[in-house]
Amino acid sequence: MRLPALLLASSLALAATGAGAATLDAAKARAAIDATTEKNWGELEALYKDFHQHPEVGFQEARTGRILADKLKALGFTVTEKVGKTGFVGLYKNGAGPVVLVRVEMDALPMEEKTGLAWASRAQTTSADGKTSFAMHACGHDVHMAWWLGTAQALLAMKDKWHGTLMFIGQPSEEIGEGARAMLDDGLFTRFPKPDYAFGAHVGAARAGDVEVKQGVATSNSDSIRVIFHGQGAHGSMPDKSIDPVVMGARFVNDVQSVISRQKDPQKFGVVTVGNFHAGTVANIIPDTAELGLSLRSFDAETRKLLIDGVTDTAKGVAIMSHAPAPEVIRRHGLPSVINDDALAASTYGVIAKAGLKGSVKLEPAYKPGWTASEDYSEFVLAGVPKSVFFSIGGSDPTLLDRLAAENKPVPVNHSPFFAPLAGPSIRTGIEVLTLAVLSVAGK
C-alpha cells in the first residue's frame, strides 16, 4: 500500500535536515521575494532578452559568463572566473551555516530560431571543425540565467533571514554534457567549499508558472553513440561493384528500433533516437562510409546497458549481412540520472506549496517516472553533494496551450526552433522557487 502524495510529503518533510523549513513563513517570504523582483524587473527582463539575442554555444560563453560574473560582483560576491574553461564560481558568506549551491547553465544550441519573437536570435556560431550555423537558446537557459540572478538579488535583500554561504555557479556546455565535468575536473569542490545542499531548475513546456518537485529519479540517463559503417564506393550506375554504406545505415535505422520494441521491458522507459545521418556528396556516387549519431535515454542501469549493447549488436549484424568490414561504434559520453533527495524534495515542496504561488505546485513521488530529458547537473550530485533537488518549472503560454489542444497540434518543447517560454511568469516563478528552497535549508 502506498501513502497518498500529500501524506508522504508531510511524513518525509519531518525527516528533512533543513531546519529553516519548519519555521519559515513561506507566504511572507514570497511577498518579500516578489517585492525585490519587481524592483529589479527591468534589469532582469533586459538581461533575458539580451542573452536570447546573443546566444553562445558550449565552451564559447565568454560574453555570457562575463556579464553574469560582473552582476554577481556588483552584488558583493567573490567571483572566480575561468573554472572549467568558461565557467565561474561566486561565493557570498553570511555567517556560519550551510554551503548552498545554486547552479545555472549558460550555453545555447546550434540551430536556427523560428519563434517570431521581436528579440529572436539571428546569431551564428562556428564549431571546432569550422562549420557555421545559427545559434538559439532553444532550451530556455536564457530564462534560467535571469531567474538565477533574480534569486541572488532576492537572497541578498533578505540576508537577515538566512545564514551560511551561497555558492552561485555559472556552468558552461550543458547541452553536450561536458560543462559540469569540466568544472569538477578544474577543482570545483576542492578549490571551493563543498556544498551541503544544491538546487537547480529547468523551464519546460508545461503551463507557465506551474512547478513540479520530483522525489527520487528526476531525469534520464543519457548516452551519445556514433556509428560509422565502412563500405566500398562505386559509380551509382554500378551498385554491384560497391558495398553500400547508405543501405547499411538505412537498415540500421529501422532495425535498431527492434531493441526498443522487442528486447526492452515495455514497463521500463528507454529511447533510441537517430539524430543525424551523413553519407555521400552527390547523387551518382556510392560513398565509402556512412556516419550516424544516436541519443539513448533510460532510467535504470539494466535498461541503459541493454540499449548500448543493442545498438552495438545491431550495427555489427547489419555490417555482416552486407559482407562489410566491422563498423565503428563509438560511445562519446554518458550522463547519469539526476536523483533528488526524497526528504529534501518533500520539505521544499511543503514550503513552496504554502507560499501561494500563482501556478500549481505538485510533488511527484519516487515511484513515479522522472522526466525523460537528461541533465549534467547529475555530475555535481554524484561528486558528493549530500542533498539536492532539481525543479521543473512550466513556461508555456496558457492561451497557446489551449489553442494547440483545440487544434490537436503538438506543443513546442525544449530544443524545438519554436520553443519560446513566456518569460515573465517563468522567470518570476523560478526566482520564487529557488529563493524559497535556499531559505528552507539556510533560514534563521
- Each residue of 243-291: pLDDT tens digit? 999 999 999 999 999 999 999 999 999 999 999 999 999 999 999 999 9
Cα angle vertex 47, ends 79, 154, to 5°? Answer: 60
With 0-12 CB in 10 A as exposed, 13-18 as middle and 19+ as buried, what is 317? middle
Are 132 and 112 within 8 A, CB to CB? Answer: no
Whether residues 51 and 178 share a domain: the answer is yes
C-alpha cell at 270: 528507454
Are 248 and 317 within 8 A, CB to CB? Answer: no
Average pLDDT score over residue span 53-76: 98
Please give the residue range of the domain that contains residue 265. 222-335
Whether residues 263 and 121 share a domain: the answer is no
C-alpha cell at 358: 500563482
- Each residue of 360-370: pLDDT tens digit? 999 999 999 99
Whether residues 59 and 193 share a domain: the answer is yes
Whether residues 316 and 341 share a domain: the answer is no
Whether residues 331 and 342 share a domain: the answer is no
At 235, the pLDDT band (50, 70, 90 cuts) reads very high
C-alpha cell at 109: 544550441
- Each residue of 110-143: pLDDT tens digit? 999 999 999 999 999 998 788 899 999 999 999 9
CA distance to 50, 145, 306, 394, per residue, from 422 (Å): 15, 14, 39, 9
Write the CATH number for 184. 3.40.630.10
**397, β-bridge pairs:** none
| This prediction's pTM | 0.91
Whether residues 269 and 292 share a domain: the answer is yes
Write the CATH number for 240. 3.30.70.360
Query: Using CA atoms, how far apart are residues 166 and 100, in angstroms rounded to an integer?
Result: 5
Query: Using CA atoms, how far apart are residues 116 and 119, in angstroms rounded to an integer?
Result: 8
Q: How many domains does the chain have?
A: 2
Whether residues 286 and 359 share a domain: the answer is no
Last residue of some domain: 320, 335, 350?
Answer: 335
